[in-house]
Structure 1
Amino acid sequence: MVMKRHKRIAASATTYIFLIIALVWTIFPVYWMIKSSITVNSEMYVARPSLIAKHYTFENYVDLFTKTEFPRALLNSLMIAFLTTVCCLLISILGSYAMTRLKYPGRRFFKTSIIFSYLIPTAVLFVPMYVFVSKLGFYDNKWALLIIYPTTVVPYCCYMLMSYFKAIPYALEEAALIDGCTRMKSLRYIITPIALPGIAVVATFAFTMSWNEYLYAMIMTTSPVQQTAVVAISSFKYADSAIWGRIMAASVLTSLPVTIIYIVAQAQLISGKSDGSVK
């Protein structure tokens, strides 16, 4: 008994030590980013910076809002990411429902094409996308990203939502159809509430993909008033020098919306998954 108890204690201690190391490994970059954003330049640009700053300042945040176009870039990212997420969710919910519940010629082909279109690297398409957007007259315009982002986000959302819709018993929808419910009402009142945790996950990743996208945003927007936040952050690096305090402050502000989205999505995941079946 004593040996078994010692083994359990040793196993628990090993597990906790491993978890603590993993937690520190994960949190330390975030801590360093926040710490660097409020550190004075005299302490930041040294050979061996300390883990805890001796003097703090919010000058980097003030500079972002008074001396740069970063607030406009942050607003551009919010608008583009939000509108892309809403548009892609509407298309993906309808498309995934059609590919999992309806029977029509070519359904297998459309399901396969969705997977393959998601696997195509974005770097392969940026040249034709650039030509296409330029001919539409949207060059150096942030709204061009609303045309480009759904081409990569929608396939991902459809691929994920199809698995969620397949897991929902068809008997629930069949009962609603027998009671006189149309397909659209069944999707709205039965399928969507049950799949809400999956939709929350897909919406989170869709927002994150649109928010963090850099290649297309860099190519399609060149002027500071049209740039997104991630492109604006890269503009704070000049040749071989970088304004690290301003970069870290901008990174902290850029990470806040995504963090809030994850917290809201987590609340949706914890909420009941059987709301639709109750209705």
Structure 2
Amino acid sequence: MYLKKKKKIRMFITYILLIIALIWTIFPLYWMIKSSFTVDNEMYVARPTLFGFTPTVSHYIELFKEAKFQVNLLNSLIISGITTLIGLGISILGSYSMTRLKYPGRKLFSASVIISYLLPTAVLFIPMYIFVSGLGLGGTKWALLVIYPTFVVPYCCYMLRSYFNSIPYALEEAALIDGATRMQTLRYIVLPIALPGIAVVATFAFTMSWNEYLYAMIMTTSMKQMTATVAISSWKYGDIINWGRILSGCVVASVPVTIIYILAQSLLVSGNTDGSVK
């Protein structure tokens, strides 16, 4: 009886802590969405109400008609999408070579990938700016396509290398014995099995590129070249903050990443190789 009572108390405390953690996580999202639909005279008060508010879509109309936020969204989609494809293409080949091939300097190459992944990106923005300016890309969004792979590729390689190591090599050996080439084993055996890991890496690579702020702020100078994150931060003029436009922009900017996560859910399944090797 005592043990059952003790177990119930532990479960009660656990549920209470989980509820608190859930509220702690959800409340900022709720407040962002609520405020984006709240009229200005209710938003800029000393004690705003928690639930009651007068709904309006004027902030979203202003966001797209006056601020032309769709241009910045398109810039972010182009840069993040291309960067993710470049990062995956390079990292898949690099991770496969580090885990399956034997060649001089493989350990040095693996160590350099880890060092590049751990190196703070902020310390490189001055040489990066000089480099992209020399290429004639200074002040444009295309400079980000040169910069973003420098930290996305090491991350993807670091993650995919661990995932490739978990795939039994016996599957590839059987294909190689049957006459398949390395590229064929990679395409028809390794990639289908590693699809959940690739989906995870692609999702985080896209998110890293989408949320990046420092390089995007330094490299883009005009509003038409800015990404969504930089455009949102530009709506603060000294001590005047247009919270309606900022919060509505944050809501809209969070939609593409949310869609990416939802689409990737179907691929986030582990254990595809269970029973393949006895």
1:112 partner letter: A
The question of whether the paired residues in 1 share the 8 Å contact of 2:167 and 2:273 is answered with no
- Quote how far apart the aligned CAs of 1:50 are: 0.8
| TM-fit CA distance, 1:274 | 3.4
Q: Pairwise CA RMSD of aligned residues?
A: 1.5
Using the size of structure 2 for normalisation, the TM-score is 0.97
Give unmatched runs, 5+ long, in structure 2. none
- One-letter amino acid of the structure 2 residue matched with residue 134 of structure 1: S
Q: Does 1:80 align with 2:41?
A: no
Contact 2:87/2:149, CA 8 A, preserved across alignment: yes
Aligned residues: 277
Which residue is 2:63 aligned to?
64
Encode CA deviations 1:96-146: one digit per residue, 9 max, x unaligned: 000110000000000000000111111110001001111111011111100
Q: Is the 8 A contact 1:43 1:53 kept in 2?
A: no
* Alpha-carbon contact 1:145-1:216 (below 8 Å) kept: yes
SS of the equivalent of 1:48 reads coil
Whole-Å separation in 2 of the counterparts to 1:71 and 1:272 = 40
Decide whether the 8 Å contact of 2:99 with 2:165 is kept in 1: yes
Query: Are the aligned partners of 1:81 and 1:210 in contact in 2 as well (CA < 8 Å)?
Result: yes
> 1:70 is aligned with what amino acid?
F
Residue identity matched to 2:182? R
2:129 maps to which residue?
130
- What is the match of residue 119 of structure 2? 120
Other-structure match for 1:187: 186
Secondary structure of the residue aligned to 1:270 is coil
Question: What amino acid is the match of 1:102?
Answer: L
Report the 3-state secondary structure (helix = DSSP H, G, I; strand = E; otherwise coil) of the residue aligned with 2:180: coil
Task: Find the counterpart in structure 2 of residue 256 from structure 1.
Answer: 255
Structure 1 runs not aligned, ≥5 long: none
Q: Which amino acid aligns with 2:239?
A: D
**1:231-250 residue pairs with structure 2 within 5 A?**
231-250=230-249
Counterpart AA for 1:199: I
State the distance in 1 between where 2:118 and 2:3 align: 50
Q: For 1:196 and 1:54, locate their aligned partners in 2 and report how far apart those are by CA, in whole Å.
A: 45
On the 8 A contact 1:74/1:228 being kept in 2, the answer is yes
Determine if contact 2:152/2:208 at 8 Å carries over to the other structure: yes
The corresponding residue for 1:156 is 155
Instruction: Give secondary structure in 2 for the equivalent of 1:211.
Output: helix
* Distance across 1 between alignment mates of 2:53 and 2:231: 29
Counterpart CA distance in 1 for 2:140 and 2:19 is 46
Consecutive aligned runs of 4 or more in structure 1 exceeding 2 Å deviation: 270-275
| 2:216 aligned residue | 217
Is contact 1:193–1:274 with CA below 8 Å preserved after alignment?
no
- State the 1:54 CA deviation: 2.5
Q: Distance in 1 between matches of 2:44 and 2:90?
A: 49
Q: Displacement of 1:247 after TM fit?
A: 0.4
Matches of 1:254 and 1:127, distance apart in 2: 28
1-side partners of 2:209 and 2:53: how far apart?
37
The separation in 2 between residues aligned to 1:220 and 1:183, in whole angstroms, is: 40
Determine the structure 1 residue equivalent to 2:19: 20
